[in-house]
Amino acid sequence: MVPRLPLAAYEEEILGYNFIEYGELGRPRLLVLGLPDAGLVGPIASGHLVRSLGMQDVVGVESYGYLPPAALILGGSVKYPLRIYVKGELAVLVTEIMPVPTGIVPLSIAIVEFARKRGVQYLVGLSGVGNPMRAESQPQLYWIATTPEAEKLASALEGVAKRFPDGLIVGPYATILKESVKRGVNTVLLLSDSFVDIPDPEAAAVVVDGLSRIAGLKVDTTQLLQEAETLRLRLQGMAREAKDALAKMGKGYEYRAPLIYS
């Protein structure tokens, strides 16, 4: 039998992005986001979650303006380059391809709005914070929360993570944080020190460990560390694309101090 893309049971358009639901998303408690940013920490961590928890893809995200006309072939099946996987209370957004720079902000807003409409209790972003001296230090975990409820969730990280210090954040997660505050969405962003433009599986393992704590999951990161070199080679192309797109959206602003400190 020829594998086919399942028919969409439900489709919703938000700011130029179509969320095509071809499986049962339900109402997950946590939607974890693996958007490309420094060190590709989000895509590496989200890919590891999907593989190690045996999650099922149920939603494809498509845009004929902001994404190249690309389809992913996985195990003989046609897939959308941006997909949401689900297992029980946990959903994970996986990103294979970078939107054009002007598509990053609408995607970030669309994700927050989708989560709000679908009654997702917490959004959890996984990302890296580019540290130029990363080669000589172990990655530290940081967190940022948008609401008191999100802070309560992040309190499980006490002793292993620090609240993110005063500074600027530029990229998809900056928009996600602002839109979450505006829309009252409980969002926790987990950031690990990472290489700026080299894929960083070690930093991804640190955010996965952080997520395991706040979500009450058991995700083994041994394989992620064992396969670090393979992942770095596989993601070399994606890292170049992400660096290009993030530089165009002003990533350089991250490396300067804010005007006012708290």
Partner 1 sequence: MSYDDIFERMRRRALRIVRDVMSEFDEMEAWLRSMMDELEETIRPEDLLDERLNELRRGALKPLASIYDAGSELVITIDLPGSDARTIDIKVFPNSVRVEASVRSELVRRAFGETYWARNISKYEGEYALPATVDPSTARVSVRSGMVVIRVKKAAR
Q: Does residue 160 touch partner 1 according to CB under 8 A?
A: no
- Please, what is the minimum distance in Å from the beta carbon of residue 204 to partner 1? 14
Q: Which of 9, 24, 230, 247 binds partner 1 (CB under 8 A)?
A: 230
CA angle centred on 247, ends 231 and 45, rounded to 5°: 30
Q: Which of 62, 193, 197, 209 binds partner 1 (CB under 8 A)?
A: 197
Name the DSSP letter for residue 200: -
Q: CB-wise, 78 or 233, nearer to partner 1?
A: 233
Q: CB-wise, 5 or 74, nearer to partner 1?
A: 74
Q: Does residue 78 touch partner 1 according to CB under 8 A?
A: no
Handedness of CA 141, 94, 17, 245 (dihedral sign): positive
Rounded to whole angstroms, how far apart are CA atoms 99 and 102?
8
Q: Does residue 17 touch partner 1 according to CB under 8 A?
A: no
Q: Does residue 155 touch partner 1 according to CB under 8 A?
A: no
Q: Which of 71, 241, 250, 252 binds partner 1 (CB under 8 A)?
A: 241
Q: Which of 7, 135, 257, 259 binds partner 1 (CB under 8 A)?
A: 135
Q: Does residue 234 touch partner 1 according to CB under 8 A?
A: yes
- Retrieve residue 139's tokens: 């990655």
Residue pair 170/253 in contact (Cβ under 8 Å)? The answer is yes
Q: Does residue 252 touch partner 1 according to CB under 8 A?
A: no
Q: Does residue 166 touch partner 1 according to CB under 8 A?
A: no
Q: Does residue 72 touch partner 1 according to CB under 8 A?
A: no
Rounded to whole angstroms, how far apart are CA atoms 140 and 147?
23
Pairing of strands 90-95, 30-34: parallel
**Closest CA relative to residue 22, chosen from 83, 95, 93:** 83
Question: Which amino acid makes up residue 92?
Answer: V
The H or E element spanning position 203 is helix 201-215
Query: Which residues contact partner 1 by CB under 8 A?
Result: 16, 65-66, 68, 100-103, 132-136, 195-199, 227-234, 236-237, 239-241, 248
